[in-house]
Amino acid sequence: MREVIEAVSDIAASPVQALDAPRRDGDPAYLVAHIGLAKSALRWSPGCSSLENIIQTAWNWHGRDS
């Protein structure tokens, strides 16, 4: 999450306030994502693969009506 918050702060050119808190009951110790299954099962590849690119395109899309 810290990586996402830092990337959003950089792209928005504004700090994002975040509150550190302990894990809640039921929260996983860690999460792992791997695109391999989607690529093989669905024959699909993402158009945006880097975190910065994903955030930038979302930022641009949300700001287009402003």
Q: What is the pLDDT along the chain (66 residues), one digit of tens a residue?
A: 899 999 999 999 999 999 999 999 999 988 888 888 888 999 888 887 799 999 999 999 988 765
Q: What is the pLDDT of residue 49?
A: 78
In-domain check, residue 24: no
In-domain check, residue 56: yes
Q: What is the pLDDT of residue 66?
A: 58
In-domain check, residue 47: yes
CA–CA distances in Å: residue 13 to residues 3, 5, 59 = 15, 12, 11
In-domain check, residue 21: no
In-domain check, residue 23: no
Domain that holds residue 36: 2-16+31-63
* Cβ neighbours, 10 Å, residue 17: 7
Q: What is the pLDDT of residue 64?
A: 76
In-domain check, residue 49: yes
In-domain check, residue 22: no
Q: What is the pLDDT of residue 55?
A: 95
The tally of domains found in the chain comes to 1
Give the global pTM: 0.68
In our burial notation (b when 16+ CB lie closer than 10 A, e otherwise), range 27-36 reads eeeeeeeeee
In-domain check, residue 44: yes
CA–CA distances in Å: residue 65 to residues 18, 37, 54, 58 = 26, 35, 19, 13
